């Protein structure tokens, strides 16, 4: 399930305006089919940085830097943003886009597996985006959980759509489905895992392809 186009467009219109770089990245996504969170969700990522007064943000999977660009727009000058990507060419493109943004923040571009990269960073990260391989979402959460302080937030993308239909994830999470295999199984397993963890309080943001927003409460 995706949000109706008119609702998504309305959310985009109400949210922070795109700049020339965002519009260029959106055009690239339209032309190539590359999955990005889109400007409506991007505005929410920017908003979350401000609401949390976050100083440090970590991304599990950054592609060519779309979500990172929105995070950078919200970070204060002394903030730090860590991108991770296994595709070196995409990471180079992310560097180019973010340099064009002219952000006065510390931005680190890490080539490699995000779950390995996070081991090299100390806490805290007040805001984390999980958007790597869907069958490794639980592994990503476990890798970063100790680095998220109480009050910090973990956001996971593709909760209601992606390389699977909404009906599939709905059946696994609230229906009678029990298997937890492949992409949709990984997302269902993540939702089960984070909802069962008393240290997190989770809600769904039904924009784009669905975000699970989990605040650490203990």
For residue range 89-126, list pLDDT tens digits in order: 999 999 999 999 999 999 999 999 999 999 999 999 99
The residues facing 1 across adjacent strands are none
pLDDT band (50, 70, 90) for residue 176: low
In this structure, are residues 71 and 49 in contact, taking their beta carbons and an 8 Å threshold? yes
CA torsion 207→118→88→134, rounded to 10°? -40
Beta strands 106-111 and 80-85, pairing class: parallel
Give the residue extent of every domain in the chain: 5-197+204-216
pLDDT band (50, 70, 90) for residue 177: low
Render the burial of 97-110: b for 16+ CB within 10 Å, e for the rest. bbeebebebebebb
Give the per-residue pLDDT at 5: 86
As a whole number, mean pLDDT of residues 67-71 equals: 98
Tell me the pTM.
0.95
Domain spanning 5-197+204-216: which superfamily?
Vaccinia Virus protein VP39 (3.40.50.150)
* 113 to 6, 23, 119, 186: CA distances (angstroms): 37, 28, 11, 17
Residues 6+ apart with CB under 8 A from 90: 62, 63, 64
Give the per-residue pLDDT at 174: 85
Mean pLDDT of the chain: 95
Give the per-residue pLDDT at 199: 97
């Amino acid at each position: 399930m995706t949000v109706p186009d008119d609702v998504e467009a309305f959310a985009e219109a109400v949210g922070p305006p795109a700049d020339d770089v965002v519009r260029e990245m959106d055009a690239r996504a339209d032309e190539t089919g590359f999955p990005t969170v889109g400007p409506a969700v991007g505005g929410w990522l920017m908003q979350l940085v401000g609401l949390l007064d976050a100083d440090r943000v970590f991304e599990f999977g950054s592609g060519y830097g779309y979500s990172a660009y929105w995070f950078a727009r919200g970070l204060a000058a002394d903030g730090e943003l860590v991108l991770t990507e296994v595709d070196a060419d995409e990471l180079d493109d992310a560097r180019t886009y973010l340099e064009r943004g002219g952000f006065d923040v510390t931005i680190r571009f890490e080539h490699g597996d995000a779950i390995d990269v996070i081991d090299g960073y100390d806490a805290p990260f007040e805001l984390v985006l999980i958007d790597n391989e869907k069958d490794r979402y639980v592994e990503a959460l476990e890798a970063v959980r100790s680095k998220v302080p109480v009050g910090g937030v973990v956001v996971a993308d593709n909760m209601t759509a992606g390389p699977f239909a909404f009906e599939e994830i709905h059946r696994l999470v609230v229906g009678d489905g029990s298997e937890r295999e492949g992409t949709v199984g990984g997302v269902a397993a993540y939702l089960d895992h984070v909802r069962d963890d008393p240290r997190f309080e989770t809600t769904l943001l039904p924009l784009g392809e669905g975000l699970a927003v989990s605040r650490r409460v203990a």
